[in-house]
Chain A
Amino acid sequence: MSNQSKTIEALANQEYKYGFVTDIETDSAPRGLNEDIIRLISSKKNEPPFMLEWRLKAYRHWVKMEKSEGEPKWANVKYPPIDYQNIIYYSAPKQKADGPKSLDEVDPKLLETFEKLGISLSEQKRLSGIAVDAVFDSVSVATTFKEKLSELGIIFCAFSEAVENHPELVQKYLGSVVPYTDNFFATLNSAVFTDGSFCYIPKGVRCPMELSTYFRINQADTGQFERTLIIADEGSYVSYLEGCTAPMRDTNQLHAAVVELIALDNAQIKYSTIQNWYPGDKEGKGGIYNFVTKRGKCLGKNSKISWTQVETGSAITWKYPSCILQGENSIGEFYSVALTNNYQQADTGTKMIHLGKNTRSTIISKGISAGHGQNTYRGLVKMQKGATGARNYSQCDSLLLGDKCGAHTFPYLEVNNSTSQVEHEASTSKIGEDQLFYCKQRGISAEDAVNMIVNGFCKTVLRELPMEFAVEAQKLLGVSLEGSVG
């Protein structure tokens, strides 16, 4: 553990280290939301008419939703009302009219920003195994390894670029998993989303590198509404990772993203998230509201979608990466670590909707609460009429550090097919004084002991992450637990 423990120690002694602001000239829309703003966003992006129409339909639906039931109220989170007219819905760093053609044209300040975040956009410096799409506020600023990937027929680009260059794919799949009417935040996103990543893996291709998107909120008072769409054609495979950070500000910022995944026959998508948005300070001031809709559809037979998330950031997390298991023998997986410290709140989990025969799903959720953190697991397993022989296994474990935090588990179950099998296990534990003393008796400091016990608790989830991100995630857990010992 030598190096690793040193890093954890070093990291544990510092505050949120991504809290800086980049001083850059921006092109922003005025505050507020109306049809003109939506037209503005659409025209900034040179979108074809079908996109504008879709956005407007979503907007009109959202206006109705806002007037009636408003935001979803069922989640176990508390926050003051959000003033949707006080948010800036479009903000982009100023750049040449048609966007940078190559990295040399990207504003060095942006490259520097990502460099500081540990994301080098220079391909020479990148680890060769990972391609990155870097999203800064409302736009994608650069995507690496595009050419190399396109030799295999893989499309990996900014969402707005896909709308321009591959409108037929976008039109076919956009909203096919998360319709624009889905929920308040997804509807809002459908109306105003600005950028995100698009990815298409052609038939039979195994994507040779990790694809990743790095999201950065910079501008104050903006919302970030990105949209990611990944399509894995028959027999293909892709592993995708997203990371995110934001400056430290004492006001809350809204992040309402939508991710849609589609896996055709025999295709596999592995989607990993390391969510490290600014969590707010020790008193609970500031931080990101992370209200996200993520859903995958196993459309084809024998397809597989696997979600792995490590959620350590955000003031509030509201997210349920889910799988619709439509194809026969398809598999859905959800592996989650959610950590809440100080005054953070998380209400997260998954939905596994079994439609097809012999579909299988696995849910492993690890919630860690420290400080005054509130951590809720909310999950639905639904076995529909056609889901003959379907199976689910769920395991939800909570770990409490201290006695001011809370852990809550809400497993929902709907079974409409008597041949299906569902298994659920749950546990809640505290880090025991005996465990800490045992570690200390072997010379290990209290802080390292807590990190070790927490990492051990999360192991079955962390091992699902691509190797180098697992190390990153372990460090993050250490940092996020800072101040919770003693």
Chain B
Amino acid sequence: MLEIRNLHASVGGKEILRGIDLTVNAGEVHAVMGPNGSGKSTLAHVLAGRETYVVTAGEVVYEGKDLLAMSPEDRAREGIFLAFQYPVEIPGVSTTYFLKAGVNAIRKHRGLEELDAIEFLAMVKEKMKLVEMDQALINRPLNEGFSGGEKKRNEIFQMGVLDPKLAILDETDSGLDIDALKIVANGVNAFRSPARAMLVITHYQRLLNYIIPDFVHVIFDGRIVKSGGKALALELEEKGYDWLKPEADLAQHTIA
């Protein structure tokens, strides 16, 4: 589904991603871990097409297409979803209104009939169960005055409604208490399917107790320095990230 080769990207003139290689197949859940500032969010934004991040080398193939040549809205319409680490507020626009615009733009792109208000609301009702969303919340202006947990839950709710093929969750667990974490994890698990893939970015392994990944990758200084199965996450919990540092330095040396 997704193939990232030797991806380099910079932001504000500073190189952040320094050669990422990663293959994700349909049905797989990949966890991406790493210390703060290692480039996890940068990777997520580059995949979603944020213009402030500049790709300087490498390529990304998504379902046989050159992902980097696509506009952000087309990537979304082709099934890429990003759950933001810091969801954005849009005053005066309700989540429902916002999502209806998104759903219908995506449907139009795929040659489907747009949903009318009644069909849309029926669909939304169904998806609200996914993360126990509250009707009052989604009628309020998007993310305005939401608690941290409500914002994250809203992201997963949006994922359910937009029905992506590749979901990238950027630290969806941060700022959640344990109950909220379980709700979000349940929503994500219910969403897993052989047709979908997920990239779960997290700083802590805590989330991975609830969302069991097929693969775990560790990013350090803009490179994947170690990949493994779910056991790697536990090892990281135990030892922290520092023991990987020499390997990172080593990797740098071998290339240089």
Partner-B contacts on A (CB < 8 A): 1-2, 5, 432-435, 437-446, 448, 452-453, 455-460
Contacts of A456 in B (CB 8 A): 90-93, 141
Contacts of B116 in A (CB 8 A): 2
Residue of B nearest to A433 (CB): B52
Contact assessment for A448 and B105 in the assembled complex, using a CB-CB cutoff below 8 Å: yes
Q: Which of B73-113 contact A (CB under 8 A)?
A: 73, 75-77, 81-82, 84, 87-93, 97-106, 109
Contact assessment for B109 and A440 in the assembled complex, using a CB-CB cutoff below 8 Å: no
Contact assessment for A452 and B98 in the assembled complex, using a CB-CB cutoff below 8 Å: yes
Contact assessment for A432 and B88 in the assembled complex, using a CB-CB cutoff below 8 Å: yes
Residue B162, interface by CB 8 Å: yes
Contact assessment for B76 and A441 in the assembled complex, using a CB-CB cutoff below 8 Å: yes
Contact assessment for A437 and B72 in the assembled complex, using a CB-CB cutoff below 8 Å: yes
Residue B197, interface by CB 8 Å: no
Q: Closest 10 CB pairs between A and B? A: A456-B92, A442-B102, A456-B93, A459-B92, A438-B88, A443-B76, A443-B105, A440-B72, A2-B114, A443-B106
A48 CB → nearest B CB, Å: 51
Q: Roughly how many angstroms separate A2 CA and B102 CA in the complex, as a whole number?
A: 10
A154 CB → nearest B CB, Å: 36
> Which of B52, B88, B101, B141 is A435 in contact with, Cβ under 8 Å?
B88
Contacts of B102 in A (CB 8 A): 439, 442-444
Contacts of A1 in B (CB 8 A): 97, 100-101, 104
Q: Roughly how many angstroms separate A444 CA and B93 CA in the complex, as a whole number?
A: 14
Q: Roughly how many angstroms separate A435 CA and B116 CA in the complex, as a whole number?
A: 25
Q: Roughly how many angstroms separate A439 CA and B73 CA in the complex, as a whole number?
A: 8
Contact assessment for B92 and A460 in the assembled complex, using a CB-CB cutoff below 8 Å: yes
Residue B169, interface by CB 8 Å: no
Contact A5:B99 (CB < 8 A) given known A435-B90, A440-B73: no
Q: Roughly how many angstroms separate A434 CA and B82 CA in the complex, as a whole number?
A: 13
Q: Roughly how many angstroms separate A448 CA and B77 CA in the complex, as a whole number?
A: 15
Interface centre among A445, A452, A456 (most CB of B within 10 A): A456
Contacts of B81 in A (CB 8 A): 441
Q: Roughly how many angstroms separate A446 CA and B51 CA in the complex, as a whole number?
A: 13
A471 CB → nearest B CB, Å: 14
Partner-A contacts on B (CB < 8 A): 48-52, 71-73, 75-77, 81-82, 84, 87-93, 97-106, 109, 114-116, 141, 158, 162
Q: How many contacting A-B pairs (Cβ < 8 A)?
A: 92
Contact assessment for B72 and A441 in the assembled complex, using a CB-CB cutoff below 8 Å: yes
Residue of B nearest to A458 (CB): B92
Contact A442:B88 (CB < 8 A) given known A2-B115, A456-B93: no
A456 CB → nearest B CB, Å: 3
Contacts of B77 in A (CB 8 A): 443
Contact A442:B104 (CB < 8 A) given known A2-B116, A459-B92: no
Contact assessment for B91 and A437 in the assembled complex, using a CB-CB cutoff below 8 Å: no
B16 CB → nearest A CB, Å: 17
Q: Roughly how many angstroms separate A455 CA and B84 CA in the complex, as a whole number?
A: 24
> Which of A433, A438, A458 is B90 in contact with, Cβ under 8 Å?
A438
Contact assessment for B88 and A452 in the assembled complex, using a CB-CB cutoff below 8 Å: no
Residue of A nearest to B100 (CB): A1
Q: Roughly how many angstroms separate A457 CA and B103 CA in the complex, as a whole number?
A: 22
Contacts of B52 in A (CB 8 A): 433
Residue of B nearest to A462 (CB): B92
B225 CB → nearest A CB, Å: 28
> Which of B50, B84, B109 is A443 in contact with, Cβ under 8 Å?
B109
A180 CB → nearest B CB, Å: 42
Contacts of B162 in A (CB 8 A): 442-443
* CB pairs A–B below 8 angstroms (8 shown): A2-B100, A2-B116, A442-B102, A442-B105, A443-B103, A443-B109, A443-B162, A445-B105
Residue of B nearest to A438 (CB): B88
Contact assessment for A453 and B48 in the assembled complex, using a CB-CB cutoff below 8 Å: no
Contact assessment for A437 and B50 in the assembled complex, using a CB-CB cutoff below 8 Å: yes
Contacts of A458 in B (CB 8 A): 92
Contacts of A2 in B (CB 8 A): 100, 104, 114-116
Contact A441:B101 (CB < 8 A) given known A432-B88, A452-B90, A456-B93: no
Contact assessment for A455 and B93 in the assembled complex, using a CB-CB cutoff below 8 Å: yes
Interface centre among B49, B90, B101, B115 (most CB of A within 10 A): B101
Contact assessment for A442 and B98 in the assembled complex, using a CB-CB cutoff below 8 Å: yes
B110 CB → nearest A CB, Å: 10
Q: Roughly how many angstroms separate A439 CA and B171 CA in the complex, as a whole number?
A: 20
Q: Roughly how many angstroms separate A248 CA and B81 CA in the complex, as a whole number?
A: 45
Contacts of B72 in A (CB 8 A): 437, 440-441
Q: Roughly how many angstroms separate A437 CA and B71 CA in the complex, as a whole number?
A: 11
Contacts of B115 in A (CB 8 A): 2
Interface centre among A1, A439, A440, A442 (most CB of B within 10 A): A442
> Which of A440, A446, A448, A457 is B91 in contact with, Cβ under 8 Å?
A457
Q: Roughly how many angstroms separate A30 CA and B89 CA in the complex, as a whole number?
A: 58
Contacts of B82 in A (CB 8 A): 441
B96 CB → nearest A CB, Å: 10
Contacts of B141 in A (CB 8 A): 456
Residue of B nearest to A6 (CB): B114
Q: Roughly how many angstroms separate A167 CA and B158 CA in the complex, as a whole number?
A: 63
Contact assessment for A448 and B90 in the assembled complex, using a CB-CB cutoff below 8 Å: no
Q: Roughly how many angstroms separate A446 CA and B84 CA in the complex, as a whole number?
A: 19
A242 CB → nearest B CB, Å: 25
Contacts of A453 in B (CB 8 A): 90, 93
A157 CB → nearest B CB, Å: 39
Contact A440:B90 (CB < 8 A) given known A2-B115, A445-B105, A448-B105: no
Contacts of A440 in B (CB 8 A): 49, 71-73, 76
> Which of B50, B73, B91 is A444 in contact with, Cβ under 8 Å?
B73
Contact assessment for B101 and A5 in the assembled complex, using a CB-CB cutoff below 8 Å: yes
Contact assessment for B105 and A444 in the assembled complex, using a CB-CB cutoff below 8 Å: yes
Residue of A nearest to B162 (CB): A442
Contacts of A443 in B (CB 8 A): 73, 76-77, 102-103, 105-106, 109, 162
Contacts of B71 in A (CB 8 A): 440
Residue of B nearest to A429 (CB): B91
Contact assessment for A442 and B76 in the assembled complex, using a CB-CB cutoff below 8 Å: yes
A111 CB → nearest B CB, Å: 35
Q: Roughly how many angstroms separate A442 CA and B101 CA in the complex, as a whole number?
A: 9
Residue of A nearest to B102 (CB): A442
B206 CB → nearest A CB, Å: 26
